[in-house]
Amino acid sequence: MGGVKEREERKQEQSPAVSSDEKMFRMICNTSSSAFLYYNFASGMIRTLANWSSFFDIEIKCREDFEKIYDCVEEPYIFSLQELLFTERRGLVNDSMVAALKGGKRWMECEATVKYDTEGRPKEKVIRFKDITKFKAQDEELTYMAYYDMLTGLYNRNYFVRLLGEFIQKAQENQKKVAVMFLDIDDFRRINDGLGIIVGDEVVQQFGQFLGTYRGERVIVSRFNSDVYSIGIYDPCGESSVEHIYQTIRERLQKPFILSNGQEFVISVSVGIAEYPEAAQAALELINCAEIVMFKAKSSGKDNLQYFDAPILDDFLQNVMIGNKLKEVAFNENFVMYFQPQYHASDRTLRGVEALLRWKGDDGRMISPSVFIPIAEKNGAIVPIGTWVIEESIRIYADWKKKYHSSLILSINVSAIQYKRPDFISKLMETLEKYEVDPSMVELEITESVLIDDFVEVTNKLLILKDYGFKISLDDFGTGYSSLSYLKGLPINTLKIDKSFIDTVISDNNTKIITESIVYMVKKLGYETVAEGVETKEQFEYLRSIECDNIQGYFLGKPMPSHEVEELLKKTAV
Ligand code: C2E
Ligand code: CA
Ligand code: CA
């Protein structure tokens, strides 16, 4: 067979009728793993090229033969494939779809490119069939990762919060209780530091798997992070009462875990318990309460259990104090905006900057926003803070624009609470008008937590913002419910791949594959990608090689005060 094919090719190559363009085209086709279908409208000529036989076991000689292709794909994809093969919509240069081949095990992406003559009539058409089975599998894996903790197979934190919310809602309707047990392994640091992360991981895994045995219709179990677990119980009683579960956990912990190297290991846990409706009304608050009392259990000798009770709230004082401070703070004295550059990966030119808030404590130390923003979100202070962030960063941006005619994109982080305010858009527009900045230069960074509550309302608001010309960026992708399938149709422009992916993208092959698949799929959806937290040259080079569009991270630039951004702008100003 091969010999015949080769002879054919040689004959075609030698034939004077074959133009050099066509030779080149054929060469490209032959080195591709895709299959191509070429159709010439005027002559009616049809050719199948490259890897055709690895996709289809059929010959296509005339347009009627297209029908045969439909027999090769799964039913739900036939209609779209017909559309792709037959319609020649004017002005549409590229059109693509994804289809499963019969048997459902193999996936292909079909992409049509049509060439038109000067009068706008279709002249030629090429359809490329590309095998994307690998990427599909990764999307499924990503969906799994969105709900589960990879190490233990338990639910992850985000999904647990969601399910706990559902328990609470049901409990409200049926006047039942919901308990949360917050568990933390005692002296885990000692295990991790003393015996290494691998041993630590194994302990976490084995204990997690044991906790998994409590799972049931009324019991959900999750690993939050490191050595922290949480159990949610709907209508706790009998076998699923808090006491019974705690007692049986303690019994199990009397015996050692046996690690793969034969080593035996005994651990103890500190447990905090809080119940709906007494302790709190909402999932996150309930978890917080259980966590606070867990610390109490730890500080009173470890290896025990502590129920939530109101006076323990006093321990909260520290937090409340910070909260109050945030409310009364004179913004312009204690707050300052920093900006972190984002670069185009291809040529390292400046794409824009992300505005990041800094808080100067009384002693002059900078307090990280990851400490105070969550508190400000809880006590409502985030609203005035967010308004200040928008005004201050746009004011500074307008100043750069005047001085350096810069056309940077200004990315601003917007909290869910801030975003949901009815006057959010009107206030934002007022500020932009005041400083004469066009919305198209501003990118609003939102996290998935914005989308969770009311998807439709939030999406509508996003559409309005897009209408005004704002860019919308989905922040921290990969840490929440992130599934590529729900991204489809979201009115966003940009997706930021979370630092947690970038951290292990070089060392961990799984992360590498997933990151590649995210970049690939996100591109297909028409969004830009920004990789966050890029710290090394290796990470940078790798991300560039997989065509991630933009890079942000210490490797190219740390967050900096405005005057340092000006130095960058001076260099690039024309
Ligand atoms: P984020 O939006 O994910 O911002 C990126 C964070 O990663 C920033 O931390 C930045 O300094 C840090 N970062 C960037 N590159 C690297 C790197 O290469 N290595 C490491 N280790 N870190 C890197 P930052 O400024 O402390 O902000 C933390 C979080 O606080 C932000 O995460 C964001 O969620 C929130 N935040 C900051 N400013 C604002 C604000 O003005 N409004 C709101 N709502 N949230 C803000
Ligand atoms: Ca951000
Ligand atoms: Ca982020």
- Quick: pLDDT tens for 9-19: 554 445 555 66
Pick from 404, 352, 409: which is nearest to 571 by CA? Answer: 404
At residue 1, the pLDDT reads 38
pLDDT, tens digit, 9 for 90 and up, residues 392-419:
999 999 999 999 998 899 999 999 889 9
* Ligand 1 close to Cβ of residue 478 (< 6 A): no
For ligand 1, the distance from its centroid to the CA atom of residue 321, given in whole angstroms, is 23
Residue 299 alpha carbon to ligand 2 centre in Å: 35
What's the confidence (pLDDT) of residue 2? 41
Kindly tell me the burial class for residue 210, based on how many C-beta atoms sit within 10 Å of its own C-beta (0-12, 13-18, 19 or more). middle
Q: What share of the chain is helix, strand, coil (3-state, %, to 5)?
A: 50, 25, 30
Tokens for 378, please give them.
């809880």
What is the residue type of 542?
Y
Can you tell me the distance from the alpha carbon of 478 to that of 481, in angstroms, rounded to the nearest whole number?
7
* Of 211, 204, 166, nearest in space to 188 by CA: 204
Decide: helix, strand or coil at residue 291: helix
Q: Say which amino acid occupies 79.
A: F
Most distant CA pair in the chain, distance: 93
With 0-12 / 13-18 / 19 or more C-beta atoms within 10 angstroms meaning exposed / middle / buried, residue 69 is buried
Answer whether the bond into residue 277 is a cis peptide, omega within 30°: yes
Residue 553 CB–ligand 1 contact under 6 Å: yes
Ligand 1 in contact with 415 (CB < 6 A)?
yes
Query: What CA–CA distance (Å, rounded) separates 363 from 81?
Result: 66
- pLDDT recorded at residue 332: 63
Per-residue confidence (pLDDT) for residue 165, from 0 to 100: 94
What does the mean pLDDT of the chain come to?
Answer: 85
Res 3: pLDDT: 46
Query: Could you tell me if the CB of 373 is within 6 A of ligand 1?
Result: yes
CB atoms under 10 Å from CB of 134, counted, come to 12
Instruction: List the chain residues with pLDDT less than 50.
Output: 1-5, 7-8, 11-13, 90-93, 316-317, 574
Residue nearest to atom 24 of ligand 1 (CA): 369
pLDDT at 394: 98
- For 505-562, what is each residue's pLDDT tens digit? 999 888 888 899 889 888 888 999 999 999 999 999 999 999 999 999 999 999 999 9
How far apart are alpha carbons 97 and 81 in whole angstroms? 8
What beta strand segments (E) does 83-152 contain?
A: 94-100, 107-116, 122-131
pLDDT, position 93:
47
393 C-alpha vs ligand 1 centroid, how far in Å?
15
Question: pTM of the full predicted structure?
Answer: 0.57
What is the per-residue pLDDT for 8? Answer: 47
Q: Would you list the DSSP string of 368-428?
A: PHHHHHHHHHHHSTHHHHHHHHHHHHHHHHHHHHHHH----EEEEE--HHHHHSTTHHHHH
